[in-house]
Structure 1
Amino acid sequence: MGQGARTATTLAVLSGLVVLASLWGWQATTKPLPHEEEIPLCSDTTVPAGTEIFRDQVVVSVFNGSTRTGLASATMEQLVERGFVEAETGNAPKKVRTVEIWSDQPTNPAVQLVQQQFRGARVVSGEQLGLGVVVVVGEQFKELGPNVESVTAAADATICSPPTE
């Protein structure tokens, strides 16, 4: 084989490798990225009567029902420090005076446990603004109340609890 033929063969082989590498690279670049399955923040968990419910089993959303900037975030931070699971924060669609727990289930143990963290909090029917127990803090809210660790379910109930892994 002459020098010219060897050069032509080498160039042909290298060109073929470049084409194959380009095809492989294009395929890898345009391939959809794998997506992780999103783990829900909480799922409905049935708790039988007599079960003790602890703060780390309760998901809470806090909304600002006042004109004070950052009130919901600051309150959520304090609840997380106590062991509650954070869901959502934001602004409430209406203003409230002190603290309201928006729920149609005032005897739910998760609602009761969150309510006991606030002095004078009322449970009222309201919009389900976020996941878990919805707390709306108002203009006259100053600080959290007693640091209650758990409550016992008086009857069978369903709570929004973080998934166990």
Structure 2
Amino acid sequence: MDRRAVSAITLGVLVMLCLVAVLLGFRALTAELPDDPIASEPPVCEDRDVDKGEKVRPRDVVVSVFNAGSRAGQASKISNALENRGFVPAERDNAPRETGIVRAQVWVDGPVNPAARLVATHLGKGTPIKTNKDALGPGIMVLVGDDLGSLPKGKRKLAAKKATSICSPPADVG
């Protein structure tokens, strides 16, 4: 074939490819959007009623861990340790500035519940539980400072002192 024929065929193929690309782009541009893309993501945790005397175990508790100190990686380290003990991890991030936490605190956005008490046993004796705090993340919030070392052995289950609710993993997940 001569050069003109090869050039014409090449040009024709390139034009066809461009037309196909334009057609596919137009179809994608005018396609319907999903009704609610956010609703399709399952929730990290759901409120679950706990009766007086009912046992709460680590697998029932969602925990978000926040670094309130200056040591990098504290939140991830503690979150991994709690996950290895059966807790369900949620968020890991830095805590708001100037929390003043030296060792560790457990925060809940409502009253103290058995889930918060159970988490506190895994952070060491005397770990304070602060109530009615703004939610930094889903579930029980653990804020760790620079002086928190290795975690002591915590309780495997804890009975509810009164009827309450806790943030647990969705039933179909956990």
Quickly name the TM-score band, shorter chain normalised.
0.7 to 0.9
* 1:114 CA drift (Å): 0.3
* Identity across the alignment (%): 35
State the number of aligned residues.
Answer: 144
RMSD: 2.2
User: Could you report, residue by residue, the CA deviation over 1:17-45 in whole angstroms, capped at 9, with x for unpaired residues?
Assistant: xxxx99x9567645347658111010111
Bigger share in strand: 1
1:56 to 59, 71, 91: 59
1:47 to 24, 46, 50: 50
Q: Give unpaired runs (5+ residues) of structure 2.
A: 1-19
SS at match of 1:113: helix
2-structure distance, mates of 1:47, 1:27: 53
Larger Rg: 1
Say which is worse superposed, 60-69 or 119-128, in terms of deviation.
Answer: 119-128
In 2, are the aligned partners of 1:105 and 1:111 still within 8 Å (CA)? Answer: no
| AA of the residue aligned to 1:110 | A
Q: In the alignment, does 2:104 pair up with 1:99?
A: yes
Aligned to 2:31: 31
2-structure distance, mates of 1:74, 1:25: 47
Q: What TM-score does the superposition give when structure 1 sets the normalisation length?
A: 0.78
Q: In the alignment, does 2:165 pair up with 1:162?
A: no
The 5-angstrom pairing of residues 12-161 of structure 1 reads 29=28, 30-32=30-32, 35=37, 37-93=40-96, 94-103=99-108, 104-106=110-112, 108-119=113-124, 120-125=126-131, 126-161=133-168
SS at match of 2:78: helix
1-structure distance, mates of 2:151, 2:104: 10
Q: What TM-score does the superposition give when structure 2 sets the normalisation length?
A: 0.74
Q: Give unpaired runs (5+ residues) of structure 1.
A: 1-20
2-structure distance, mates of 1:147, 1:68: 24
User: Could you report, residue by residue, the CA deviation over 1:98-146 in whole angstroms, capped at 9, with x for unpaired residues?
Assistant: 111112422x110011011011311124332111001111121101112
Runs of 4+ in 1 over 3 A off after TM superposition: 24-30, 32-36
